[in-house]
Amino acid sequence: MKKPKSVKDDFNLVVENAFDFFQKSLEEFDKEPKYSVIHFHAAVELIMKARLLWEHWTLIITRPETANLKSFRSGDFQSVSIKDAKARLESIVQDGLSKAEYECFLRLSDHRNRMVHFYHPGNTGNKSELEKIVAEQCLAWHHVSRIFERWNEQFQSYKKEIAKIDKVMHEHRKYLKAKFGALAEDIKKAEDRGISLSICPSCGFKSFGEDADNTPILDFECLVCKARETGLMVDCPECGEQNKLIGEPWHKCNKCSHEIDENDVHVFLTKDFVYDKHDLGRSIVAHCEECDGYEMVVHVNNIWICSQCFTKYDSEEVGQCDWCGSLSTGNIEDSYFMGCAVCEGKSGWDNDKDD
């Protein structure tokens, strides 16, 4: 869908501002960590706002009902926070943040708020605090990189800028190098215990510990930056080769290059399941509140996991919708009136009748 030139111009200005803040943040970290934290947070926030702006300029204004184009053009308005941006991306754009992405960005906000409104030990060069900040920024950039892939239509013309920041982020990891060295003994002990270690997608060190006690579900945690991911061990539907998927279902088979997707993962996880619509108590599929996946959450080894976004749920977080009767994750206490992850309940039904 083509956008009017004015919208593209506004979008490009916001994105260019975001990359300027990214670049400035990484340049400042050595001598002025306070401003690095503030500018890195601003960059992430601007990426969220740019995505909203792509849909409509009023979405980045705190109170859209008071929106004035002239004031917007002059920058005379209050813009949304990351929290508000998340809500609008989900409810209006229908293309929101994952739980892991949002929680990571909130931690960035916490660092930023402490720097601006109070005091942060990292500002005085406290080594452990600086390591925490770098770890958070590495993890945040990992999430932002995935967001750029997901929002490729909007950000495809910024591949060079993304690659440039990615290169600088790899140099930025030098602050974690000392920590990686200090953990050498712990890493060796982990390997001696049979823990498989791979390259961490966040900080880039071979410190990404794999817990395979609940295969096919895999849990990963980095010993250096503490990044966490959920994964699945899935057989390729074309050649049968086992593939380790980390964080998301989209993966090229290691053997035959088949493009594995969420549907392949779902079929693999439910291959031995016979669906009985008359006995929901024995069902192993549910709708996902996190990504709105229709029956994408599968019950595996006493854990509910979404085959589309890899979000895990406890059994207490899955229930039957009182309106449509299907299983869904999330809060379904008022589901008869409000619906579940995939229906709008009685209120939606009544509104449709009125229309």
Residues 110 and 238 occupy one common structural domain: no
20, 165: one domain: yes
Domain closes at, from 267, 297, 318: 267
Same domain, 131 and 56: yes
Token reading at 17: 């501002």
Do the beta carbons of residue 195 and residue 209 sit within 8 Å?
Answer: yes
The predicted-structure confidence for 184-197, as pLDDT tens digits, reads as follows 999 999 899 888 99
Residues 354 and 349: their CA atoms lie apart, in Å, by 9
CA distance 138 to 121: 19
Looking at the fold, whether 34 and 79 belong to one and the same domain comes out as yes
For residues 329 and 290, give the distance between their C-alpha atoms in angstroms, rounded to a whole number.
8
Residue 158 · residue 19 · CB < 8 Å:
yes
Task: Tell me the three state secondary structure of residue 135.
Answer: helix
Same-domain check for residues 261 and 281: no
Q: What is the pLDDT of residue 1?
A: 46
Instruction: Indicate if 115 and 236 belong to the same structural domain.
Output: no
Split into its structural domains, the chain has a count of 3
Q: What's the rounded Cα separation, in Å, for the pair 57 and 10?
A: 8
Residue 58 and residue 103 in one domain: yes
Q: Are residues 48 and 13 in the same domain?
A: yes
First and final CA of the chain: distance in angstroms? 28
Identify the three-state secondary structure at position 105: helix
How many residues appear in the chain?
355
Residues 49 and 96 in one domain: yes
What is the rounded CA–CA span in Å between residue 222 and residue 219?
Answer: 10
Q: Find tokens 């096919």 and name the residue.
A: 216
- Rounded Cα distance between 165 and 168, Å, is 5
Chain centroid to CA 101: 3
Q: For residues 244 and 233, is the Cβ–Cβ distance under 8 A?
A: yes
Domain boundary among 232, 250, 267: 267
pLDDT less than 70: residues of the chain: 1-7, 117-127, 274-282, 352-355
Contacts for 315 with CB less than 8 Å, ≥ 6 apart: 302, 304
Domain enclosing residue 282, as ranges = 275-354
| Per-residue pLDDT tens digits for 76-112 | 888 999 999 999 998 899 888 888 899 999 989 888 8
pLDDT of 290: 87
Same domain, residue pair 247 and 279: no
pLDDT of residue 8: 74
pTM for the model stands at: 0.72
Claim to verify: residue 158 and residue 62 sit in the same structural domain:
yes
Rounded Cα–Cα distance for residues 277 and 296 (Å)? 16
Residue at which a domain ends, from 117, 150, 172? 172
pLDDT of residue 352: 65
In this structure, the answer to whether residues 92 and 224 fall within a common structural domain is no
CA 207 vs CA 155, 186, 218, 222: distances in Å: 31, 10, 15, 5
CB 248 within 8 A of CB 309: yes
